Amino acid sequence: MTPAGTAGATAPAGAGTPAAEFPRPVPVPDERSAPFWAAAASHVLTAARCARCRSLAIPPDQVCPHCDATDPEFVFEPVSGRGRIRSWTVVRQSFLPGFNAELPYLLVDVELDEQQELRMIGRLLDGPDSPVRLGTPVRVAFEDLADGVSVPAFVLASDPGSTGGSDSTGDSGSTGGSDPREGA
Ligand SMILES: [Zn+2]
């Protein structure tokens, strides 16, 4: 008898490859994100600019998140890749076996300098014990996962201002909550 309504339980029947090695999952560009990943392969971070309101979006949706235009005609353009940490979390357990070798690592939620609320989430490559706090400056870096496949991440950047970040807010460990790239 086949039980009805067991959707979602995909049995790994006859997965031919042995589990000897788990490569990290690589992004699969769709039509909308293809320019983003093409630029990333050249280690250039891009954001999509709405043709209607000129705002930037990462990643672009079908509707502009700023002006709600349904025909934003997004055009990708390079951004500086510099920003500041808004929140972060230490990832100690990966749901994707391909990331096990990287554990633990810091996942940072960064607001890019280009625009308020232009946020991007990525790994911080400086290690899990990096001295991060709210407002810590970072810049983009790229992890080359495969030939022609690079994923944007972040590294700590030196603050052009002073080192006087004296406020230690108790917000450490706050998770970003809604991670649009989770599991990507
Ligand atoms: Zn817009």
Q: What is the pLDDT of residue 165?
A: 44
Find the 62 Cα to ligand 1 centroid distance in Å. 11
Q: What is the pLDDT of residue 164?
A: 45
Find the 57 Cα to ligand 1 centroid distance in Å. 9
As given in the structure block, the two tokens for residue 67 are 């002006």
Tokens 């339980």, residue located:
9
In a 3-state reduction of DSSP, which class is residue 164?
Answer: coil
DSSP β-bridge partners for residue 87: 109
Per-residue pLDDT reduced to its tens digit, 67-80: 999 999 999 999 99
Find the 74 Cα to ligand 1 centroid distance in Å. 9
Domain residue ranges in the chain: 28-79, 80-162
Find the 116 Cα to ligand 1 centroid distance in Å. 14
* Phi, psi angle pair for 100, to nearest 5°: -60, -35
Task: Yes or no: say if 22 and 45 are a contact pair by the CB < 8 Å rule.
Answer: no
Task: Yes or no: say if 100 and 136 are a contact pair by the CB < 8 Å rule.
Answer: no
Q: What is the pLDDT of residue 130?
A: 94
Find the 106 Cα to ligand 1 centroid distance in Å. 32
* pTM for this predicted structure: 0.72
Q: Which fold has domain 80-162?
A: OB fold (Dihydrolipoamide Acetyltransferase, E2P) (2.40.50)
DSSP letters spanning 123-155: EETT-TT----TT-EEEEEEEEEETTEEEEEEE
Q: What is the pLDDT of residue 184?
A: 40
Identity of the residue numbered 147: D
DSSP letters spanning 35-76: HHHHHHHTT--EEEEPTTT--EESS--SS-TTT--S----EE
Side-chain-facing half-sphere of 1: CA atoms under 13 Å: 3
Find the 55 Cα to ligand 1 centroid distance in Å. 6
Task: Yes or no: say if 33 and 46 are a contact pair by the CB < 8 Å rule.
Answer: no
Ranges of the chain whose pLDDT falls below 50: 1-20, 162-184
Q: What is the pLDDT of residue 47?
A: 96
